[in-house]
Amino acid sequence: MMSRAQSSLRRFMQTCAHWPDFVSLRLVEQQSRTLAVTRNVIEPPSLRNECGVMVCVHVDGQQAFAATSDITLPGLQQALERAQQTAKALRGNGLVQHPIANNQGIRAHYRSPELDLPLPDTADWLALLMETSRQVPNDPRLVHWSARLRVVQEQQLYLDNQGAEILRSQQQLFPEIGVNAFDGQHSQRRTYQVAQQGSANIVTHTGFLDEARRVADQALQLLLAPNTPQGQRDVLLMPDQMILQIHESIGHPLELDRILGDERNYAGTSFVTPDMFGHYRYGSDLLNVSFDPNVTGELVSYSHDDEGLHAEKQLLIRQGILQRPMGGALSQARSALPGVANSRACNWNRAPIDRMANLNIEPGDQSMSQLIGSIEHGILMATNRSWSIDDARNKFQFGCEWGQLIKNGELGAVVKNPNYRGISSQFWRKLSAVGDASTNAIMGTPNCGKGEPNQAVTVGHASPACVFSHLDVFGGQA
């Protein structure tokens, strides 16, 4: 079914069909609702119905854009003229000559899995969240908790005057639970989050109610637990910490626009340089990292990026050796390096730049019990809670919600405030075991920030549990 905005976009593109210059239009229509129950009280629901168009033109090799929430035909015409004026204002001051995409004849319609299944209505969702909230036991130390859900439905239509027509219909769900425990002196917080594309099954099949009980129980366990001891240990990172580790110390440093210096004033640069591709040892032989837009249900699976480049799976790191960066068509042309289809914008009001999409670690061959069994003096860490890394994406420090010591191949005592620090360029070489598919989890994050002007995008990450040897581990203050 075509929305009114989509029909008007098509009509407008017909008027640009025979222009000598390249013109593309990207319409984003996003409906989302956020529902929450906090301590068994329903919070006021909030909806968003966003809609706008980004126009892109090329004039004499100069590319410029114009964004507008005025999607009437005169509004689109005005945006087109503003984009042309902007391109002309560059007059020899443009950084790059923009290659014209070859999007001739592209027709595609990407749809999230199970898009046809009807979603529960607001009353049903609220009933589920209330039931989830009520799973948190009555314990005076449990001072705060909430169960939340955000459902995002987005239709993006990309048209250009080469005839490309790419429709993307995505449905993303973000259920989460958080519990705070407090003993009169100190507090601990434990959370559970999912971020995937698909239907209500994402929430109902994950055992949301059980997770609320688990999270509450673990928050209380952490309250009683000692601090994580300081020293060198082997570390078993669970998928809900691995995704952050991949994101910060593989994803960002491999973004080609960072390597090309575009982000030096804000998000930063990269310790990776163009000459490293093809031979640099990023990690141990066990490290295989993919850009994979085809994983069913992963948060950012799609058929084409926001400039019409066809998306396919690529290994960025193969057996520890760096293969290619993440850069879209423009960055590939600027750098003469291979890339991936990752030119993405956060919404209609921002122009696409190089972003992560789905960035995954390929599973290995170790079961969870083998991973634990291989560790003599170690610690398991789960669920990211703190992250900090330098602007070249090298020196990092990450903290988790949950820690459990491992001694002689056995999982032992719970410890609180587990942190570790390291240096990206050395860290991945310490990867000593990679979990098999049974340890793998498909996850994601809704808020990766980057770009000037700023853009926060969703990113998908899938990872097995992994072991790293001899990391610097430490806890909090008593």
Partner 1 sequence: MSNCRFASAFKTLEHWLKYQLHAQEHFTLWYAAEDSQFVRFNQGKVRQAYPVLQIELTVRLILGERHASARINLSGEFEQDTAQLGQTLTQLRGILDVLPADPYLLLNTELWTSERQVPGRVPELQQVIDSICGLSQGLDMVGIYAAGTLYRGFANSWGARGWHECANALFDWSLFDASGEAVKSTYGSADWDAQVLSDLFEKAREQLHHLSTPRISLKPGQYRAYLAPAALDEVLSMLSYDAFSAKAFANRQSALQQLHLGQQQLSPLVNLREQPSSGFEPGFGHDGAPRQDVDLIRAGQLVGQLVNSRSQAEYSLQANGADQQEMPHTLVMAPGELATADVLRELGTGLYISNLWYLNYSDVGSARLTGMTRFATFWVENGQIIAPIETMRFDDSVYDMLGTHLLALTREQALCIDSGTYERRGLDSHVLPGALLEHLTLTL
Q: How far is the CB of 55 from partner 1 (least distance, A)?
A: 9
Interatomic CA distance for residues 354 and 342, integer angstroms: 6
Number of residues that bind partner 1 (CB under 8 A): 85
Residue 448 contact among partner 1, Zn ion, none, beta carbon within 5 to 8 Å by kind: Zn ion
Question: Coil, helix or strand for 445?
Answer: strand
**Contact predicate 179/173, CB 8 Å:** no
Q: How far is the CB of 455 from partner 1 (least distance, A)?
A: 7
Is residue 79 close enough to count as binding partner 1 by CB under 8 A?
yes
Is residue 226 close enough to count as binding partner 1 by CB under 8 A?
no
Beta strands in 183-288 (DSSP E): 187-193, 196-197, 231-237
Q: What's the CA angle centered on 419, arms 449 and 370, to 5 degrees?
A: 105
Nearer to partner 1, 226 or 268 (CB): 268
Q: How far is the CB of 337 from partner 1 (least distance, A)?
A: 17
Residue 236 contact among partner 1, Zn ion, none, beta carbon within 5 to 8 Å by kind: none
Interatomic CA distance for residues 117 and 134, integer angstroms: 27
Nearer to Zn ion, 317 or 448 (CB): 448
| From 13-21, 185-193, 311-319, 356-364, span contacting partner 1 (CB under 8 A) | 185-193
**Contact predicate 24/80, CB 8 Å:** no
| From 103-111, 183-191, 192-200, 370-378, span contacting partner 1 (CB under 8 A) | 183-191
| From 17-25, 92-100, 374-382, 426-434, span contacting partner 1 (CB under 8 A) | 92-100
Nearer to partner 1, 244 or 375 (CB): 244
Is residue 476 close enough to count as binding partner 1 by CB under 8 A?
yes
Q: According to CB under 8 A, which residues from 158 to 177 bind partner 1?
A: none
φ and ψ at residue 23, rounded to 5 degrees: -135, 130
Q: How far is the CB of 259 from partner 1 (least distance, A)?
A: 12
Q: How far is the CB of 118 from partner 1 (least distance, A)?
A: 16
Residue 104 contact among partner 1, Zn ion, none, beta carbon within 5 to 8 Å by kind: none
Structure tokens at 273: 């340089």
- 248 DSSP assignment: I
* Three-state SS sequence of 307-326: CCCECCCEEEEECCEECCCE
Of the candidates 369, 403, 367, the one whose C-alpha atom is nearest the C-alpha of residue 384 is 403
Q: What's the CA angle centered on 93, arms 77 and 351, to 5 degrees?
A: 45
**Of these, 111, 144, 318, 470, which contacts partner 1 (CB under 8 A)?**
144
Burial of 185 (0-12, 13-18, 19+ CB in 10 A): exposed
Q: According to CB under 8 A, which residues from 240 to 269 bind partner 1?
A: 260-262, 264-266, 268-269
**Of these, 44, 105, 118, 140, which contacts partner 1 (CB under 8 A)?**
44
Interatomic CA distance for residues 259 and 242, integer angstroms: 23
φ and ψ at residue 44, rounded to 5 degrees: -60, 125
Q: What's the CA angle centered on 17, arms 13 and 18, to 5 degrees?
A: 150
Residue 214 contact among Zn ion, partner 1, none, beta carbon within 5 to 8 Å by kind: none
Burial of 153 (0-12, 13-18, 19+ CB in 10 A): middle
φ and ψ at residue 450, rounded to 5 degrees: -175, 170
Residue 243 contact among partner 1, Zn ion, none, beta carbon within 5 to 8 Å by kind: none
Q: How far is the CB of 357 from partner 1 (least distance, A)?
A: 20
Beta strands 395-407 and 377-389, pairing class: antiparallel
Interatomic CA distance for residues 332 and 253, integer angstroms: 16
Structure tokens at 169: 């219909």
Nearer to partner 1, 14 or 230 (CB): 230
Nearer to partner 1, 134 or 144 (CB): 144
**Of these, 386, 408, 426, 438, which contacts partner 1 (CB under 8 A)?**
386
Q: How far is the CB of 218 from partner 1 (least distance, A)?
A: 16
Binding mask 343-362 for partner 1 (x = CB under 8 A): ----x-x-x-x---------
The partner residues of 187 in beta bridges, in order of sequence, read 182
- Residues forming the site for Zn ion (CB under 5 A): 448
Is residue 417 close enough to count as binding partner 1 by CB under 8 A?
yes
Nearer to partner 1, 93 or 104 (CB): 93
Q: How far is the CB of 270 from Zn ion (least distance, A)?
A: 13
